Amino acid sequence: MKKLLLVAVMFLGLVANAQTADEILATYYENIGGIENLKKIKGLKMTASVNQQGMEIPLEIYQMADGKQMSVINFQGKEIKQGVFDGETLWGHNFMTMKAEKSDAEATANMKLDMNDFPDAFIDYKEKGYKVELLGKETIDGAETFKIKLTKEPVTIDGKKEDSITYYFFDTENFVPIAIQSEIKSGPGKGMMSEITMSDYQEVEGLYFPFSMTQGVKGQPGAPLTITKIELNPTVDAALFAFPEEK
């Protein structure tokens, strides 16, 4: 409680001053445990579950500093991997055959662009050639937020280069992102805005992470993802990310 109050002091003190995007980001890093500590992380393993229509789907999400990542879903004791990336190949299991299949070349190329975004795209954004802009304030989930626009390297969509733009909403009270929005670039939802809202920030080894994320389309109810455990710097066999070639 004391700690919280102290934190509140920090926040309140800064509300009046925090005007630029960089100041907001600096406060954010300070509040969640320090940018230096964040940069030291080599990887994350999240144990989570998605509740969909009564079906509780357990999953494990791996994100590594070198850009490797995967989600492992457990269905009836069978492991199904989705969004697996080993730095070169993006792949996932087909639900019908349960065999690994590669994603299309565009998706893979776009994924490669994000390899330098662990654990947080904002870290060293200038060095990465990204652009950050404070657009103003917006109310999200009833809370006042700073809306920050992040422009990364252009992505390729259906054969055409398009800007990669993401909007982050930092709570003006706590200076942590509570929502992320970006335009859906292809598929049936093309042109609509996707939204992830975040909450239940909790401490893991001195760093704060959101333990609850709800993903969906802006303005429509999303699917809640509940994280039960976050493990820092997990030991993971690199082979698990590799595309299993058929023998």
Partner 1 sequence: MKKQLLLVAVLLLSFSIKVDAQSKNTKGKQLFGDLTARHIGPALMSGRINDLENHPTNNRIIYAGTAGGGVWKSNDGGVTFNPIFDDYCQSIGAVEVDPNDPDNTIYVGTGETWTRNSVSYGDGLYKTVDGGVTWNKLGFENSDRIANIIVNPKNSNEIYVGVLGALWGDSEERGVYKSSDAGKTWDKILYTNQKTGCADLTMDPNNPKILYASMWEFRRTGWSFESGGKDSALYKSIDGGATWNKIHNGFPEGSLGRLAIAVAPSDSNILYTVIEAEKNERKGLYRSDDAGANWKQLNNDFGITVRPFYFSRIVVDPKNPDVVVKGGLSGSISRDGGKTFKNLGNMHSDIHDITFDIHNSDRMYAGTDGGVYRSLNGGTTMEIVENLPISQFYQVSVDDAEPYNIYGGLQDNGSWYGPSSSPGGIEARDWNSIGAGDGFRVLKHPTKNIIYSEMQGAENVWRYDVAAKRVKTIQPLPQKSFEKFRFNWNAPMAISAHQPNRFYMGSQYVHKSEDMGDTWTIISPDLTTNDPLKQDQSNSGGLSMDNSGAENHTTIFTIAESTLDENVIWVGTDDGNVQVTQDGGKTWTNTIANVPDLPKNTWTYHIEASVFNKGTAYVVFDGHTMNDMKPYTYKTTDFGKTWTSIITSDVVGSVRNIQEDYVNPDLLFLGTEFGLYITINGGKNWIKFTNNMPAVAVHFIELQKQTNDLVMGTHGRGIIIIDDISPLREINEEVLKEKVHFFTSKPTVIFEEGSFAGSFGAETQFVGANPSRAAQIKYHLSRRHTFGKMTLEIQDDNGKVISKLGPGKSKGINIVNWNYRLKNPKVAKGKTFSFGGFTSPLVEAGTYNVVLKKGKETFTQKIELIYDPKSNLSASDREVKHNTTMKMYNMTEELAYMVYELDAILEKAETLKKKKIVEKLTALKKTLVITTGDNYVGSAEPQLREKMSDLYSKIATSYDKPSNSELESLSIIEERFEVAKVDYQKIKKKVKFLDELNLKSFEEFIK
Residues in the site for partner 1, rule: CB under 8 A?
A: 4-6, 8-9, 12, 51, 53-56, 75-78, 95-98, 135-136, 139, 141-143, 147, 149, 160, 162-163, 165, 167, 171, 173-174, 176, 178, 183, 190-192, 197, 199-202, 208, 211-212, 214, 219-221, 224-226
User: Which CB, 36 or 56, lies closer to partner 1?
Assistant: 56
Considering the complex, what minimum distance in angstroms separates the CB of residue 68 from partner 1? 27
Considering the complex, what minimum distance in angstroms separates the CB of residue 9 from partner 1? 4
User: Which CB, 125 or 167, lies closer to partner 1?
Assistant: 167
Spatial distance between the Cα atoms of 175 and 173, rounded to a whole number of angstroms:
6
**C-alpha gyration radius of the chain:** 19
Amino acid in position 161: K
Which residues touch 87 (CB under 8 Å, ≥6 apart)?
66, 67, 68, 112, 115, 241
Considering the complex, what minimum distance in angstroms separates the CB of residue 31 from partner 1? 10
Q: Could you tell me if 37 and 209 are in contact, meaning their C-beta atoms sit under 8 angstroms apart?
A: no
User: Which CB, 214 or 233, lies closer to partner 1?
Assistant: 214
Considering the complex, what minimum distance in angstroms separates the CB of residue 220 from partner 1? 8
Q: How many CA atoms lie within 13 A of 91 on its CB side?
A: 17
Collapse the DSSP code of 109 into the 3-class scheme (helix H, G, I; strand E, B; otherwise coil) and give the result.
helix
